[in-house]
Amino acid sequence: MKLNKQAHAILSSDTKFILEMLFLLRDHKDWITIEEITKATGYERRTIMKYTALLKKHTDNIPSQPIEIQVKNTKGIRCILKDRLGFNQFILEITESSLSIKILRSIFFNKGLNSIKFIQDNFISESTFKRTIEILRIQVDSFDIHIVKSGYYYYLEGDEKQIRYYAYLAFWLAYQGSSWPFPSIEKQTLTTFLNQLLGNSFQSLQPIHQTKLHYMLAITYTRYQLQYKINDLLPIWQNYMNISKEYLDQYKCNYMFENFLLPSNEVFFFVTQLQAESFIYSTYIGDYFMRAHKNSNTLSYEATHILKKKFKEEYNILTPYGDDDLFTYYALTAHVHSHLYENFTEDLAGYEVNLYPKSQYPELYKKIHDFIVQLQNTHSKKTFSNVQYLHYRYILLFVLQKKPSYFEEPLYINFITDQSPIIKELSISKIKAHFSSKYNLFFVDDTAKNKVNIVVSTNSIPELTTLFFDTPILYISHLLTNSDLKNLEIYLLQIYKKKNNMFL
């Protein structure tokens, strides 16, 4: 597990490397050499030793000692986890010590950031401050948000809905719900409001999803209290906000707005944001959203309907009849998100959760990208906007029904054994089950030897080397052990890279 690239951009360099080291050591659970860490992180030995010493200093200064970092010249480095809750608190303390997080808190929770006061309060040089804020400036620019300077003050400028969503993303990546980083309002106040606003729909959510709504609402509240308001929304936002307004009118939720010090328009905006969160669709309000999008034939519902139809035509992917299924929920929220926000390409998670990396499934990525371009050409780019965001979501939807290796270059295996046909079929089934998600495997007999990529045999008869003189042969046991599968993995990877002209 590693920090994703958005988390890397948000955290300062010292903090992100310390966290990356911590996660690597924790997940390894045993001694790991400097060379192994170098290979895993790409950092030089000197850099690793520097941050190991810094990490050990951090842990040694904690009275409760939730973790212990051990260093031995002959063995390397080891992390002993003693207290999981204490470890999470330690992660939080490291995160909050990040200079970039301190800048984010200051610039989001105030009208402006006084650079002189910030430098003095944090005992840093002016050059360190400028270097850190420049990194943040480059990142937020990609979301059409700008950090501008006036005298000694720094401000955020840009589309307020983009700023709010970035704040949601940034603070969730930084804190993961482990702490409450919003000083202007108590979490319990928001809990009361959300219970009144969403009722059973809020109460039925998992705690982690409830906390995500707390963060989202806290950002709406904080920005409004700073007098940053939602104005000049595009027509598509207005259409989706009408769905939110109709929901609130139907369930008579409007009476609570004044008590919460938010005008109705801000609450409509918050509820509209929920339409882009897939976990909401397991609740009653999610059912309401789905019916409303269908009845209004919104752009997102139209895109979802087209996607389901084209997936069936192109790839024979059959989805359940109607709209009450995971495929439809996820497709709808992906389209809502792509229509509401610009340039956001990743989900709100602090870690890489890419189950199907492009390096392993290049054809899958290419085919789905071409599929989206085809949809844009035959319909409208407005319907299928934000291709970068939709790309990976469509891949996930595809893999719900088809194996991820579906488009990849086929690998042909000739399985030879002296065992009974039923044992042979069971062995083939075991190999398929183990590798089908990674490789597009086909098992062939001797008649197709010209296209065989590898021979797998339980018998080392000399005739095989003659019959398949230029084909790799792997000899395995009759039991098809885990060791046999690991060896086969090595062979398949080498063959796959060679067929795809990849670097070996």
* CA-closest candidate to residue 384, choices 304, 281, 294, 277: 304
SS (H, E, C) 30-66: CCECHHHHHHHHCCCHHHHHHHHHHHHHHHHCCCCCC
The answer to which of 138-152, 173-187, 216-230 has the lowest mean pLDDT is 173-187
Domain boundary among 380, 399, 418: 399
> Which pLDDT band, with edges at 50, 70 and 90, does 469 fall under?
confident
Domain boundary among 80, 96, 112: 96
* pLDDT at position 1 over 50: no
* pLDDT at position 442 over 80: yes
CA distance 326 to 474: 41
Residues 104 and 59 in one domain: no
Q: Let me know if residue 278 belongs to a domain.
A: no
In the chain, the number of structural domains is: 4
Q: Let me know if residue 363 belongs to a domain.
A: yes
What is the reported pLDDT for 9?
Answer: 54
CA distance 366 to 355: 17
Considering only CA atoms, give the Rg of the chain. 27
Secondary structure class of 4 (helix, strand, coil) = coil
Residues 28 and 87 in one domain: yes
Structure tokens at 498: 């060679």
Residues 138 and 69 in one domain: no
Average pLDDT (93-113) is 84
Structure tokens at 444: 């062939």
Structure tokens at 351: 């870690």
Residues 391 and 342 in one domain: yes
What is the reported pLDDT for 255?
Answer: 53
The chain-wide mean pLDDT, for the chain, equals 84
What is the reported pLDDT for 374?
Answer: 93
CA distance 494 to 414: 17
Average pLDDT (307-336) is 88
Residues 351 and 423 in one domain: no
The answer to which of 238-247, 260-269, 428-437 has the lowest mean pLDDT is 260-269
What is the reported pLDDT for 348?
Answer: 44
What is the reported pLDDT for 486?
Answer: 92
* pLDDT at position 395 over 70: yes
| CATH for 60 | 1.10.10.10
pTM: 0.80
The H or E element spanning position 81 is strand 76-81
DSSP letter string, 145-169:
EEEEEETTEEEEEE-HHHHHHHHHH
Q: How far apart are the first and last CA of the chain?
A: 24
Residues 41 and 134 in one domain: no
| CATH for 481 | 3.40.50.2300
What is the reported pLDDT for 451?
Answer: 83
Average pLDDT (271-299) is 93
Which residues in 420-504 belong to E strands, given as ranges? 440-443, 454-457, 473-475
Residues 102 and 66 in one domain: no
Average pLDDT (31-60) is 81
Residues 423 and 367 in one domain: no
* pLDDT at position 6 over 60: no
Residues 393 and 306 in one domain: yes
Q: Let me know if residue 288 belongs to a domain.
A: no
* pLDDT at position 421 over 50: yes
* CA-closest candidate to residue 356, choices 395, 317, 388: 395
Q: Which residue has the higher pLDDT, 238 or 16?
A: 238
* pLDDT at position 68 over 60: yes
Average pLDDT (60-89) is 75
Q: Let me know if residue 224 belongs to a domain.
A: no
Q: Which of 74-88, 99-113, 247-261 has the highest mean pLDDT?
A: 99-113
CA distance 370 to 391: 10
Q: Let me know if residue 289 belongs to a domain.
A: no
The answer to which of 47-56, 125-134, 203-212 has the lowest mean pLDDT is 47-56
What is the reported pLDDT for 413?
Answer: 93
Residues 450 and 395 in one domain: no
| CATH for 123 | 1.10.10
* pLDDT at position 303 over 90: yes
> Which pLDDT band, with edges at 50, 70 and 90, does 270 fall under?
very high
* pLDDT at position 332 over 80: yes
143-178 burial by CB neighbour count: b if 16+ within 10 A, else e? bebebeeeeebbebebbbbbbbbbbbbbbbbbbbee
Q: Let me know if residue 192 belongs to a domain.
A: no
Residues 302 and 393 in one domain: yes
Structure tokens at 353: 């959760």
179-216 burial by CB neighbour count: b if 16+ within 10 A, else e? eebbeebeeeebeebbeebbeebbeebeeebbbbbbbb
Domain boundary among 158, 188, 210: 158
Q: Let me know if residue 445 belongs to a domain.
A: yes
What is the reported pLDDT for 394?
Answer: 93
CA 183 to chain CA centroid, Å, is 27
What is the reported pLDDT for 4?
Answer: 43
> Which pLDDT band, with edges at 50, 70 and 90, does 202 fall under?
very high
Residues near 85 by Cβ (< 8 Å), separated by ≥ 6? Answer: 66
Average pLDDT (362-385) is 91
Domain of 366, in residue numbers = 297-399
CA distance 29 to 415: 38
pLDDT in tens, 482-501: 999 999 999 999 998 888 77
Tell the residue number behind the tokens 């991820």, with chain if given: 404
Q: Let me know if residue 339 belongs to a domain.
A: yes
Residues 317 and 393 in one domain: yes
Helix 160-175 to helix 84-96 angle (10° resolution) is: 140
* pLDDT at position 181 over 70: yes
CA 150 to chain CA centroid, Å, is 36
* pLDDT at position 425 over 60: yes
DSSP letter string, 225-256:
HTT----S--HHHHHHHHHHHHHHHHTT-GGG
What is the reported pLDDT for 12?
Answer: 63
CA distance 481 to 238: 60
pLDDT in tens, 334-343: 999 999 988 7
> Which pLDDT band, with edges at 50, 70 and 90, does 289 fall under?
very high
What is the reported pLDDT for 61?
Answer: 67
